[in-house]
Amino acid sequence: MSDEHFQGKYEVELKYRLESKTNFLNILKNTPHEVMLEDNLESDCYFDTPDKSLHQQNKSVCIRTMKPSGIKLWIVKGPEVDRCEATNITDAKSAKSMLETMGYEITLKATKTRSIYFVGKFHITVDSLDGIGDFAEFAIMTDDELMLTAYKSELETLASKFGLTDSALQTKSYKQMFVEKYV
């Protein structure tokens, strides 16, 4: 396992709704892979300004805590679809307080159960969102903007090995799904 999987300012990601998480995991079991973590509970706090200026700019700021792994992240996405940066933090409570001190407010709290696997240079996350469903994200992080199209094609090929097709592809972020379902 390596942090190299999560280095870069761009993320190429394909998200698929799973008809059967069990079938997906059975295919994974027969695919060479490494386990980073399994069945972690992720709690995300999304922040924005009172006038929702980040949302209007297609940007997202999130503080994520993961249990039992103990990982804590500060995540910024946007404004481009593939733009995503994350950094490890040691004190999520202080990070949230700092954002609130700067005038940001929590606009959404969301939780999911997540497992992360490495298949070659790619990472696959398997997520369960209560009331929304099960998903698999095939992704890679990079600083090389010229590789985005090639990586997308490679990810589509990998996903097809799991029986996933464009009909299962999801374009909404988890944040959007939670907002539509619960806000």
Could you report the per-residue pLDDT of 28-53, keeping only the tens digit for each? 999 999 999 999 999 999 999 999 99
Share of residues in the chain with pLDDT > 90 (%): 86
- The domain in which residue 123 lies consists of 3-182
pLDDT value of residue 6? 75
Specify the length of the chain in residues. 183
* Cα separation values, 9 from 5, 43, 130, Å: 12, 22, 29
The rounded mean pLDDT for the chain is 94
Question: Looking at the predicted structure, is the pLDDT value of residue 74 above 50?
Answer: yes
- Indicate which CATH number applies to the domain containing 136: 2.40.320.10
Per-residue pLDDT averaged across 143-154, rounded?
94
Q: With cut-offs at 50, 70 and 90, classify the pLDDT of residue 125.
A: very high
pLDDT value of residue 25? 97
Per-residue pLDDT averaged across 140-153, rounded?
94
Contact 110, 178 (CB under 8 A): yes
Strand, helix or coil for residue 102: coil
Share of residues in the chain with pLDDT > 70 (%): 97
Number of domains, the chain? 1
Contact 87, 73 (CB under 8 A): yes
**Rounded distance, CA 82 to CA 162, Å?**
23
Q: With cut-offs at 50, 70 and 90, classify the pLDDT of residue 3.
A: low
CA torsion angle 14 175 171 152 (round to 10) = -20
Catalytic residue among 46, 117, 151, 174: 46
* Cα separation values, 78 from 38, 129, 161, Å: 27, 22, 30
46: annotated active-site residue: yes
How do strand 122-129 and strand 133-142 relate by DSSP bridges?
antiparallel
Question: Looking at the predicted structure, is the pLDDT value of residue 82 above 90?
Answer: no
Per-residue pLDDT averaged across 14-32, rounded?
97
Only one residue has tokens 């696997």, namely 117
